[in-house]
Structure 1
Amino acid sequence: MILPILSYGHAILRQKCQPVTVDYPELNALIDNMWHTMYRANGCGLAASQIGKPITLFVVDSKPTFENYTAEERSRYFPQGDEGITETFINARITQRFEETWEDEEGCLSIPSLHRKVERPWSIEVEYTDRHFVKQHRMFSGITARMIQHEYDHTQGILYLDYLQPLTRKMLESKLRKISKGHISVNYPMRFRK
């Protein structure tokens, strides 16, 4: 089922999310719906809070990005041997952010039409539970690590806009107001603030 994505301005997007328990009602259906919703919106990641569920759950698929990149882009954005992931992250926790950082453009399905450069660590270590409730502890780098950090931030009530300089954010205020009121056209269902 395709679910509407909350637009910028919804209070849930600013909430710190609650842990997911193994008995969370209809968890598998929710995860399936998140994947369908993300793909319908042509996204590479989606957090449960973006569909109105303030729980520590997100999905990331960096494989299509790898497949669509040129060989030169692949070598720039993916470590050697990495072809991307398709993964569900439950109760994720970033346990280490490595020193090397890089800047790249980010966007968000909840903030359509806006993209800005954000500096993030190139590599991270993450502890999480997969959709089968198997505990994982993995290191991710490059564009995959960026996608994970972006979605993880959603579970903490943080948006990529929070990393921008105050002047840049000030210049975006009128566009953000339009987005929050639904004065924007997107090709996927959204819930705007009333």
Structure 2
Amino acid sequence: MQRPIMTSRSFLRTPSEPAEPSDEAAMQDLVDTLEANRSRCVGMAANMIGVGKRIIAFVDEDLGGRVTVMLNPVITASDGAFDTQEGCLSLAGERRTLRYRRIEVDYEDRRFRARHATFTGWTAQIIQHEVDHCNGIII
């Protein structure tokens, strides 16, 4: 089910709680909302739809544009810092931020199986933005 986009800065600044198996509906709502906004958005965190859980969804160009869901993502390594400008559906305009060209992420898949993966380029940038959301950091 598509949900409205959260714009409350106080809510968005609150770090999210760990995702649990009972959050399946929130996972699907996040994917549905991302798909509905795909023309102007490439990633979302659950707090952007009013759910304070560590769930992110993003368009993975390395997988042909498929939407990937990560639960409880943690960036464990990064390198290749660069300055960039980013926008966000929850905020008006763009803001300057620091990102990394390569990241490693520990996360759980939708079946709560532990995963570790390396991402580069645009996909890495999207994941960093959404993990920041989970941590209560908004650009």
- Relative to the length of structure 2, the TM-score reads 0.88
C-alpha RMSD of the superposition: 1.9
* Deviation beyond 4 Å, 4+ runs, structure 1: 82-85
Structure of higher CA gyration radius:
1
Matched, 1:140 2:136: no
SS of the aligned residue for 1:5 comes to coil
Matched, 1:109 2:107: no
Cα deviation per residue 1:92-133 (whole Å; 9 max; x = unaligned)? Answer: 1111122x1223331101013x12342211111100001121
Report if the CA contact (8 A) 1:35-1:59 is conserved: yes
Partners in 1 of 2:64 and 2:31 — Cα distance? 19
Shift of 1:32: 1.6
Partners in 1 of 2:25 and 2:32 — Cα distance? 11
SS of the aligned residue for 1:122 comes to strand
Give the strand-richer structure, 1 or 2. Answer: 2
SS of the aligned residue for 1:143 comes to helix
Report if the CA contact (8 A) 1:18-1:55 is conserved: yes
Partner of 2:76: 95
Partners in 2 of 1:59 and 1:52 — Cα distance? 14
Structure 1 stretches of 5 or more lacking a match?
A: 67-81, 161-194
Report if the CA contact (8 A) 2:26-2:51 is conserved: no
SS of the aligned residue for 1:125 comes to strand
Partners in 2 of 1:50 and 1:3 — Cα distance? 9
Tell me the number of residue pairs that the alignment of Structure 1 and Structure 2 aligns: 137
Identity of aligned residues (%): 32
The one-letter amino acid of 1:110's match is S
Cα deviation per residue 1:53-96 (whole Å; 9 max; x = unaligned)? Answer: 11111111132xx7xxxxxxxxxxxxxxx866631110111111
Shift of 1:51: 1.1
Matched, 1:131 2:110: yes
The one-letter amino acid of 2:81's match is T
- Relative to the length of structure 1, the TM-score reads 0.65
Partner of 1:18: 17
Cα deviation per residue 1:32-56 (whole Å; 9 max; x = unaligned)? Answer: 2111111222311111111111111
SS of the aligned residue for 1:144 comes to helix
Structure 2 stretches of 5 or more lacking a match?
A: none
Q: 2:27 aligns with which of 21, 31, 37?
A: 31
Query: Residues 14 and 38 (structure 1 numbering): CA distance in 2 closer, same or farther, change over 3 Å?
Result: same
Partners in 2 of 1:97 and 1:44 — Cα distance? 21
